[in-house]
Structure 1
Amino acid sequence: MPLLLEVRDLVVRYGPVTAVDHVSFSLEAGETLALNGPSGCGKSSTALAVLQLRRPDGGQVGFEGRELTTLTERELRPLRPRMQPVFQDPYGSLSPRHRIRDAVAEPLKVQGRWNAETGPAHVAELLDRVGLDPSYGDRHPHELSGGQCQRAGIARALASEPRLLVLDEPVSALDPSVRAGVLNLLADLQDELGLGYLFICHDRAVVRHFADRVIEMREGRVSSSWLRRSPGAAPR
């Protein structure tokens, strides 16, 4: 598989506090790499720096062969659709004022890819792909369950046709039975679309089930790493 993401000696500081201390890893297309560790260990700060939502204080972030840390915001703009986040709070990631169909359509409109004739059908297709009946597009986020709302958030991320999803605790707020369904959906989408996942999670049991490789973080540093399975092995 081609190399999708390469992070070298990443440093993130908040004033005198070093949240991420020379962290390095790589991720191939079609692979899931988990960052595991307790709260405050630097997982989410690493994710924000990878997405360039928080510019790192040192190190390199290579995405599809391009070094992101040297790019201006204008130069980053065409690359952002290819690396999309999915956040922990399924309700907080969607505007409560917008219907689900409008939330899913928003990336297409922002990126200038919205077509008034074919757009509604495309939104319905995206909802169906994540296991939601297209009629749910008429609802607001508060009318959906947590699992349904997270699926809508995934559909919104897929609208940009990304190659990388940064999944920041995407199932930690969900009930165990719902959690399994969302993880299975993510696994199916990865097999279908060849997506790379950077999976942020504090739950070791979830990580063991879902990730191909795992990096353990403690106090902003990589404490250990281990392999669960090789890319291309039997489905999860």
Structure 2
Amino acid sequence: MTLKLKINWAIWFILVIVVTVGSAIAHFSSVVIVPIQLNPGETINISVFRAFPCNLGMTLEFKRSGWHQDRSELGKWRTKEYGNLEFDEPGEPIKLVVRCRDKEVIYEALPMSGYNGTSMNRDLVPFFDDNDPKRFRWPPLWELSTKLPSGRTVLNVSILEVGKSLVGERVTLIIESPINLKVRSENLGYRILWWFIFWPLYALLLSGYGIVLLSRTMPIKTGKK
């Protein structure tokens, strides 16, 4: 094997390790999805892994029976104002309390912020008590949110308050990943891991690179026999 081929094989091997490790870390830092029933006092424990420290982001997903179903109890995203968001239809109130490492943080649900034919979503933000259920702090006070450390963390999540028409409904609690296509984290580690969202493309390119190297290596080995 020539020196040039050895160098290329070394580069290929290093790239394979980088893509494999980076993709694995990004995968383990991905979205966590758990069911929860909206009953005051309902409590669940959730295990979450994060490669680097980050704020806790959560969303509640509600079932929908089709495009024709208009769930007014989930609210409607209408008015924006600087410093606050004010809604004519904020939806039924939902508050959760998250306990993590001796710290408690209350989150409240914004009005419906996303939907499709089978589900509707309400984002959860740190609760700021301004005595107005139609007003939400904007941007959210993320400095009040739960801070997830590096490694694995167990979150204790309890339903604190639920509007009357939503009591007893079974929904999906989504723990958002700090690595996603919509928003790039300010954390340098996650900004690097963000690129591993495209790992299938890298795997395809590395496969092609490996095939080319193999095709150039095999004839040399055969000639030495």
State TM-score, norm by structure 2.
Answer: 0.25
The structure number with the bigger radius of gyration is 2
Higher relative contact order (CA 8 A, sep 6+): 2
State TM-score, norm by structure 1.
Answer: 0.24
Could you say which structure has the higher strand fraction? Answer: 2
